[in-house]
Each structure stands twice: as C-alpha cells, then as structure tokens.
Amino acid sequence: MKGNSTIIRSRVLPLFVWIFGLLVVWEAVSWMLLHVAKTPLAQSKLPYVHEVAATLWKYSGTLLKEGGATFGNAGVGFLIGAAAGVLLAVLMSLSRTIEQLAFPYAVASQMIPILGLAPIIYGIVRDEQVSRIIISGYITFFPVALNMLRGLRSVDLSAVELMHSYAAKPWAVYWKLRFPAALPGLFSGLKIAAPLAVTGAILVELMGAQHGIGVIMLRNLYYGPSHTYMFWSTVLVGALLGIASYWLMTLIERLVAPWQPEFRPKGGDR
C-alpha cells in the first residue's frame, strides 16, 4: 500500500497536474482569441476544450468504430513489420555478409518520404486495408531491426565464450543469452514504431479510404468551420490511438522484461 501511494505521488499526480494545467491554458487562450483578440475563425484555430469534449461524447460511437478500424489495421501492419525487423536483425547478427548486403538498403528505404510513398502504395494496391497494413509494417520494421540488432550485439563476449566452452548450440546461445539481452533494445524500437504505425495508417486513410479515423478527419476538414469541433475530435482520437499503442508496448515490456531499472520499485539493484 505504501509503495502504491508512493507511485501515485511520484508519477500519476504530476501527470494529472500537467494535463489539468494544459487544459486550463488551452481554454483561456481559446477565450482570448475569440473575445479579446477577435481573431477570424478563432474556433477553427483553437476551439474550446469543453466543446471538443462534448463532441467527443456525442459522437463517441462513431469515433470508436472508425478508430478501431484504424487501430486494427495499424496493429496488423505493426506485427508484420516487427516480425520482419526481428528476423532481419537476427540474420544480420548471424552473418556480416548479410548485414553488409541488407543494412544499406534498409537505411535507404527509410529515405523515401512516407507522404510520397503512401499514395504510391495505395495507387498500386487499390485496397485501403492492405495499403494501411503495408505502410504500417514499412514504418515499423526499420526501428525494430536497428534496435534489435544493437541489443543482440550488446551481450558480454565473456558470457558468449562461456556458453561456447560448455558446447552450447547456437540456438541455445540466442535463446538463453542474446534474446534476453536484446529485449530492452527490441522494446525501444517497438515503442518508437507503434505510434508511427498508427500515423501511417491514418495517412493512407487520407488518400481516399472508406473507413478509419483519417476518413472522418478529412471529411470534416473539407466542410470547414461548421465541423471544427468534429475535426478536432478526430485529431485527438488519432493522438490517443498513438499514445495507447505506446502504453501497450510499455505494459508488455513491463511483463516480459521486469528487471529493467525503470520498472524496479526504487530503481535499485535487482
């Protein structure tokens, strides 16, 4: 009980103070733009928080349904991209030749702007669901591969030599030594890639899909000031999907690798 109250005081309470303070400042600036500065289209630039919250509540069913479509497709692409990234990292850790052949192309693939790639993929595939999965997977694989490779190579060489001295099989070295050591690096990549996968899925939806939070976002942006609160609601839902994906990866990391310093009660030794 004492530990829980300490966590609440040290982590949860500051978070709520920051959120409450941000909402108060947002509401005050919105009021000033509308009534003091009399800025044209003030509510389009920074709407009242309570009006956006009311819209979120009123259209919660639609937003949940479309947000679920976006999150589901981004999740499938994320899993495929993560699996490809892990496989590539393992292959590169096994062979310098494979690394020299694959790594430059993996880096070069990230030089292509997603904003330009998304309409190309959508134009080729002509399927909104498959396009979202491809883009989400494309965004995911590189940070996962890079961080996983770094984790696999972070193992103490003396530990590897010790296992070799006991005639351990290569798969045993990976399963018992390299994979556990690579978990922090792997989850660093996953936590970077998860929100990006959601963003990639929304970007494809803006190209003309039929379902997803990006579709509602584009439609309400097209209708202009009369749909300002709904547009901002979709923006917030998109942001919440990205935050939820990050928190989900953090939760899984806590369950899979609880020995890391940030998950210990006082940040001390194991």
pLDDT recorded at residue 1: 53
pLDDT recorded at residue 219: 87
CA 90, 95, 96, 99 torsion: positive or negative?
Answer: negative
Separation of alpha carbons 37 and 83, rounded Å: 52
pLDDT recorded at residue 270: 47
Separation of alpha carbons 212 and 37, rounded Å: 36
Those residues of the chain that have pLDDT short of 70 are: 1-10, 264-270
pTM: predicted TM-score of the whole model, two decimal places: 0.84
Separation of alpha carbons 135 and 201, rounded Å: 7
The 3-state DSSP composition of the chain as helix, strand, coil percent (nearest 5) reads 85, 0, 15
pLDDT recorded at residue 44: 84
Separation of alpha carbons 203 and 118, rounded Å: 7
Contact 117, 58 (CB under 8 A): no
Burial of residue 112 (number of CB atoms within 10 Å: 0-12, 13-18, 19+): exposed
pLDDT recorded at residue 66: 93
